[in-house]
């Protein structure tokens, strides 16, 4: 059977490495000589335990997370973390600052507001096209943590420099997870939904400083970080397929230079697209501050919405899918996650050049 795989520029879920998918296909319906697939095994079995431990060790190794951080696998994606973070980290007399540089920071804040969250910086007045200057973030008294979003997936901007503050950071890295090094001493929590760079949807990969995990007997069992840390993310039945697949994606990433390799590839892929935008004589237009352009989600506009529709339709016809901008901002968005390779981006850029030549008035 010949494969008809498209170039998938979707914002998430997204493409996963073909080598990994083929390996998984080989291990279905029987994983090694166990007589069953991974998703049918007992999560208490030795076979599954090896998969679980391997994924956890690899995540720590690839991210270069220090020993005093726990690695947690938690269901509910990044969105459940928006609740778990303030529920666990905030006492009644504490507050938490939020950098709201886009739609995701805004959602994170919404869940923290009733528990002490406040806006430490907002980019709303500039339509979320830029990030704060490092010294521009305003920290209130009794601030337990400052929440940042390393890459705003919808607006297409990345935080190049972390805010200047003594307060520990909590960082939602969903859309550039492991595509840039992490400054661990500055962080208490680094987290992200895994469905962009690392695995199928349905799980968050959370790194949390062990000393930052409080006892919260008042919270529901699953909502406590201590449940997951004490139980090695096996307190209940974990999302085994996600963990199994993430282990394989991480192994694949390790063979390709780990975080540094992915960082370089992300930079190079996005540079190709930004270059095509810049060299289009104004046919394509990037709405974001050039200093903070995302390396994983490139957004741009065309002269009219009509042409944007046409661009997306023609691209789809040519085997390039997922290019429609988020419904809240419109335009075009190309997401260039880990499994999207340079040749796919080159095809996109060729298409962009050709489309501009045909439609430039
Ligand atoms: C996709 C995304 C989320 C939401 O992740 P879910 O796993 O769907 O909850 C949160 N934050 C950022 C930055 C994202 O890109």
Please say if 111 is a catalytic residue: no
User: Would the CB of 143 count as within 6 Å of ligand 1?
Assistant: no
Phi, psi of 172 (to 5 degrees): -85, 105
The rounded distance, in Å, linking the Cα atoms of 70 and 209 is 6
Instruction: Using DSSP, state whether 199 is helix, strand or coil.
Output: coil
Would you give the distance in Å from CA 4 to the centre of its chain?
Answer: 27
Ligand 1 centroid to 117 CA: how many Å?
19
H or E element, residue 145:
strand 143-149
The rounded distance, in Å, linking the Cα atoms of 168 and 241 is 33
Here the tokens at position 345 are 């981006």
Rounded mean pLDDT for each run of 10 residues along the chain, 361 residues in total: 86 94 96 95 97 98 98 98 98 97 98 98 97 97 97 98 98 98 98 97 98 96 98 97 98 98 98 98 97 98 97 97 93 97 97 96 75
User: Would the CB of 335 count as within 6 Å of ligand 1?
Assistant: no
H or E element, residue 348:
helix 342-359
* pTM (predicted TM-score): 0.97
pLDDT at position 1: 55
User: Would the CB of 297 count as within 6 Å of ligand 1?
Assistant: no
User: Would the CB of 171 count as within 6 Å of ligand 1?
Assistant: no
Phi, psi of 7 (to 5 degrees): -85, 110
Please say if 172 is a catalytic residue: yes
For 1-41, give the DSSP string: ------EE--SSS----HHHHHHHHHTSS--TTSSS-GGGS
- Which residue among the candidates 7, 111, 176, 196 is catalytic per the annotation? 196
């Amino acid at each position: 059977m010949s494969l008809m795989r498209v170039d998938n520029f979707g914002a998430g879920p997204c493409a996963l490495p073909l080598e990994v998918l083929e390996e998984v296909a080989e291990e279905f319906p029987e994983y090694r000589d166990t007589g069953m697939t991974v998703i049918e095994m007992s999560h208490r079995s030795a076979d599954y335990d090896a998969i679980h431990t391997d994924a956890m060790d690899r995540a720590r190794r690839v991210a270069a997370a220090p020993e005093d951080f726990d690695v947690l696998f938690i269901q509910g994606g990044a969105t459940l973390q928006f609740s778990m973070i303030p529920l666990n980290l905030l006492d009644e007399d504490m507050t938490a600052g939020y950098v709201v540089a886009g739609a995701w920071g805004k959602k994170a804040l919404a869940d923290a507001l009733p528990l002490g969250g406040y806006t430490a910086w907002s980019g709303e007045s500039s339509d979320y096209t830029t990030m704060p200057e490092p010294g521009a973030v305003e920290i209130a008294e009794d601030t337990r943590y400052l929440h940042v979003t390393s890459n705003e997936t919808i607006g297409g901007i990345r935080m190049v420099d972390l805010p200047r503050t003594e307060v520990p950071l909590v960082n939602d890295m969903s859309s550039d997870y492991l595509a840039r090094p992490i400054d661990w001493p500055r962080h208490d929590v680094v987290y992200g939904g895994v469905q962009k760079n690392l695995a199928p949807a349905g799980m968050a990969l959370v790194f949390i400083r062990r000393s930052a995990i409080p006892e919260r007997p008042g919270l529901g069992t699953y909502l406590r970080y201590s449940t997951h840390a004490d139980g090695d993310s096996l307190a209940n039945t974990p999302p085994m397929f996600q963990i199994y697949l993430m282990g394989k994606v991480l192994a694949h990433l390790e063979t390709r230079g780990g975080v540094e390799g992915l960082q370089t590839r992300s930079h190079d892929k996005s540079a190709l697209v930004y270059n095509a935008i810049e060299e289009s004589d104004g046919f394509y237009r990037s709405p974001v501050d050039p200093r903070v352009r995302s390396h994983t989600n490139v957004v741009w506009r065309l002269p009219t919405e009509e042409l944007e529709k046409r661009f997306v339709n023609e691209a789809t016809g040519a085997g390039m899918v997922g290019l429609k901008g988020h419904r809240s901002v419109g335009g075009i968005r190309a997401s260039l996650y880990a499994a999207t390779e340079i040749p796919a981006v080159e095809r996109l850029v060729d298409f962009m050049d050709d489309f501009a030549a045909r439609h430039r008035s």
